[in-house]
Structure 1
Amino acid sequence: MSKTTESMEPLIRMLDMADSLPAAVTLRARSYDLLDLPGGATVVDVGCGAGRAVDELNEQGVQAIGVDPSEEMISVARRRRPDADFRLGDAHHVPLADGEVAGYRADKVFHELADPGKALEEARRVLAPGGRIVLIGQDWDAFLIDSDDPRLTRTIVHARADQVTNPRAARRYRNLLLDAGFEHVALEIHTGVFTDATMLPLLTGIAESARAARAITAEEEAGWADEQRRRAEAGRMFLALPIFVASAVRPGD
């Protein structure tokens, strides 16, 4: 293992933990159902990370291709799943031929893109006529957090969202797909609710980000994070994350 890959191990462990949560497992399964692919069909998972979805799709009898912009992530995916097909690329430059796949899946990707419309043009290019696309993502400006200080909480959530390239991309999925010429566009909202310490690092992390952006003071960060820790220890933490799942069909030529 390279030193660079070793340095990513904490991130990979965090992603593995998040992917193992029951809500995440259910959401991935729903995305596979929405792809609705016959056995032997080819699907690309853009932003595949360490390759869990690629592995699960292959187990369902389709031919999955994982694409990710991180050489380190691709290295981890290939090491974990040496028989799977992983390629270096990104949502704007998918290493596939025109019309090569019957399905396109992107999970927690579009909020990182400055130009989601361009990415959907690329998705339409690699999809065969009648191919299906599924997008999954959270709205970074719609975290619902219980706190004794709602004003400060709003400031923290908005400050963290402002550091994301496209924080509200998920709420735009439907219109983005329509603008790109996709048909049969449908949208679902699944809400993850967390009331224990599982997501405490996420909450303290967004407070830290807000302080780093000078949206709040160090004292406000410390006080808010301490409150969330106390809530977690007492089983009174509340975090709700709306997750948007959009599906559509590439029209025939």
Structure 2
Amino acid sequence: MSTLLTLLDAIDDLPQVRDLRERTYDGLGDTVVDVGCGGGRAVGELAARGVRAIGVDLDPAMIDSARERWSAGEFHLADATALPLDDGSVTGYRADKVLHALDEPERAVAEARRVLAVDGRAVLVGQDWDAIVIDSDDPDRTRALVHARADRMPHPRIARRYRNLLLDNGFTDVTLEVHTIVWTDATALPLLANIGGEGPWLDALSTRAHQDRLLVAVPFFLAAGTRA
């Protein structure tokens, strides 16, 4: 299993994240594309609801894992800016924890508008990588590690722009919510390892986790709009 998929599983298994994921399914209609589908969890869950769910990812390993894990749903290897879908062919578009990794997230949202039917719903959800809060005995190093991890991706703060991205592409009835996911135990360690790697910093936070003294908080932005 890839390191990224392990991290995604650790996050997606949290009850708070599961509740947020369920919220993103509201109003998507009967034909939904999940862009950046990763291991396919959302596609499988939507398909179980009777939805025609289409998962798209640019990583062949993710698509292979998704197909192994979920017999329902469709999975395609494709770019978020060039979806293998006709104009107006879906009622719902969902992009979860993906726009920060794209070189041109604006083009992905324009593509969402293209593939959505009139009155279709687009949902963008993701974390702000530059706003992660970690209680640590070494706050200076923690701040430096968080910012360094953010700087390794193309658009670590794109979630702050979700509402404006939808408005810029002609979506209406645009809403925005912020949901803070909180960890206080060892389930946060895969995320922390992804930020700081192995070593004394992670060891100290692991000790905190096992002493019930850990705090990690990550803001997730959820924006939604209607294709006018």
Q: TM-score, normalised by structure 2?
A: 0.93
Report the CA distance shift for 1:204/1:9 in structure 2 as closer, same or farther (over 3 A). Answer: closer
Q: Distance in 2 between matches of 1:76 and 1:110?
A: 21
Task: Provide the residue aligned with 1:227 in structure 2.
Answer: 204
User: 2 CA distance for matches of 1:201 and 1:58?
Assistant: 28
User: In 2, are the aligned partners of 1:37 and 1:62 still within 8 Å (CA)?
Assistant: no
Partner residue, 1:218: none
Please state how far the C-alpha of 1:11 moved relative to its aligned partner. 4.2
Residue 205 to residue 76, structure 1, CA distance change in 2 (3 Å): closer
* Deviation (angstroms), 1:145: 0.7
Relative distance call for 1:111 and 1:250 in structure 2 (3 A) is same
Query: Which residue number corresponds to residue 16 of structure 2?
Result: 23
Query: Secondary structure of the equivalent of 2:163?
Result: helix
> Partners of 1:97 and 1:234 in 2: how far apart?
53
Q: C-alpha distance in 1, partners of 2:223/2:175? A: 6
- Shift of the 73–161 alpha-carbon distance from structure 1 to 2, 3 Å rule, reads same
Higher alpha-carbon deviation: 227-236 or 161-170: 227-236
Distance of 2:7 and 2:147 partners within structure 1: 23
Q: Which of 154, 169, 183 pairs up with 1:180?
A: 169
Q: What do residues 73-116 of structure 1 show as CA deviations (whole Å, max 9, x unaligned)?
A: 21222223334211111211111000000100010010001111
In structure 1, the residue matched to 2:223 is: 246
RMSD: 1.7
Q: Percent identity?
A: 57
- In structure 1, the partner of 2:102 is 113
Q: CA offsets per residue over residues 51-70 of structure 1, 9 Å max, x none? A: 11111111222211111112
* Letter in structure 2 aligned against 1:42: T
> Counterpart of 1:141 in 2: which secondary structure?
helix
Cα distance in 2 for residues equivalent to 1:37 and 1:134: 8
Corresponding letter in the other structure for 1:249: T
Letter in 1 for 2:20: L
Answer yes or no: is the 8 Å Cα contact 1:47–1:68 preserved in 2: yes
After TM superposition, the runs of 4+ consecutive aligned structure 1 residues lying more than 6 A away are none
* Preserved CA contact (<8 Å) 1:139 1:243: yes
- Tell me, in whole angstroms, the C-alpha distance in 2 between the residues paired with 1:223 and 1:66: 39
Q: Which moved more, 1:238-247 or 1:47-56?
A: 47-56
**Structure with greater Cα Rg:** 1
1:149 equivalent to 2:138? Answer yes
Counterpart code for 2:201: W
Match of 1:69 among 42, 48, 58: 58
- Paired residue secondary structure (1:154): helix
Task: Name the TM-score, length of structure 1 as normaliser.
Answer: 0.85
What CA distance in whole angstroms lies between the structure 1 residues aligned with 2:203 and 2:106? 41
Contact 1:74 1:86 in 2 (8 A): yes
Distance 1:145 1:151 in 2: 11
Structure 2 Cα separation of the partners of residues 114 and 148 of structure 1: 35
Asked if the contact 2:7–2:191 (Cα under 8 Å) also holds between the matched residues in 1, the reply is: no
2:174 aligned with 1:197, yes or no?
A: no
- 1:93-104 alignment, distance < 5 Å: 93-104=82-93
Quote how far apart the aligned CAs of 1:184 are: 1.0
Question: In the TM superposition, what is the alpha-carbon distance from 1:10 to its structure 2 partner?
Answer: 5.1
- What is the deviation of 1:9? 4.8
> Structure 2 vs 1, CA of residues 115 and 127 (structure 1 numbering), >3 Å: closer, same or farther?
same
What is the CA–CA distance in structure 1 between the aligned matches of 2:71 and 2:202, rounded to whole Å?
Answer: 41
